[in-house]
Amino acid sequence: MEKIRVLVADDHPFFRDGLKTLLQSAPDTEFVGEAETGEQTVSMAEDLRPDVILMDVQMPDGGGIEATRRISRDSPRIGVLIVTMFEDDATVFQAMRAGARGYLLKGANSSEMLRAIRAAGNGEAIFSPKVAARLMDFFSGVRLSEPEVFPELSEREREILDLIAQGHKNPEIAKRLYLSPKTVRNHVSNILHKLQVVDRAEAIIRAREAGLG
């Protein structure tokens, strides 16, 4: 079985030693080197051509985000896996924009770390549960604005058309909107003209097709 070749980039010797021990204990991973600055990581990535780089964010001489950007640009085959203490949205999205293939927190256990390394080595994107939850929360708050239905109508006319599509007659609409029957009739006439339909029944069909009613 071909092993996943891994470069460790972190400015803390103790953490590098821990990852080195983990990689040497797994049958399908190979520890190929360690770097402690951003610039050194870029240089070693070019020389060693690892499959995966475990990249810290805060390192001297450029840092992990800039190193990730340069490596992803020059060697897109290498999977950069961010391993850091930072889980704020700004850092996560900076890493993703830089080309990181995954994002793990340093509290991850050995099995999570190895699973992430294997995923990155296979070209997959992977995130720790906490970071994945933050991403889901962020994107669940993003809503694409829907195009306005019947933009040729005024807001009041769309409101009346919606009530027409629900089956309400003019007197009911007038009562509901606190308008005079004559005002409602004028609005309905304008709606039919703007939608270029011949009668109320055709207007209802158009409205319901557009999701009103």
Same domain (yes/no): 136, 161: no
- pLDDT, residue 148, reads 66
Task: Please check whether residue 148 lies inside any domain of the structure.
Answer: no
Same domain (yes/no): 174, 94: no
What pLDDT digit, counting tens, does each position of 159-197 carry?
999 999 999 999 999 988 888 999 999 999 999 998 888
Across 72-80, average pLDDT: 94
Same domain (yes/no): 132, 179: no
Mean pLDDT computed over every residue of the chain: 89
Same domain (yes/no): 133, 70: yes
* 25 CB neighbour count, 10 Å cutoff: 11
What pLDDT digit, counting tens, does each position of 96-137 carry?
889 999 999 998 899 999 999 999 999 888 887 777 777 777
- pLDDT, residue 93, reads 84
Domain containing 159 — which CATH number?
A: 1.10.10.10
Question: What radius of gyration, in Å, describes the C-alpha atoms of the chain?
Answer: 30
- In the chain, the percentage of residues whose pLDDT exceeds 90 is 62
Same domain (yes/no): 12, 109: yes
Domain count, the chain: 2
Least confident of 65-69, 201-205, 209-213: 209-213
Contact of 13 with 58, CB cutoff 8 Å? no
| Residue 69 to residue 200: CA distance in whole angstroms | 60
Same domain (yes/no): 127, 35: yes
Where residue 212 falls among pLDDT bands split at 50, 70, 90? confident
Same domain (yes/no): 122, 169: no
Least confident of 2-6, 106-110, 209-213: 209-213
Environment class of residue 190 by beta-carbon count within 10 Å: exposed (0-12), middle (13-18) or buried (19+)?
middle
Q: Does residue 145 surpass a pLDDT of 50?
A: no
Domain, as residue range, for 103? 4-140
What does pTM read for this prediction? 0.63
Longest dimension (CA), the chain: 84
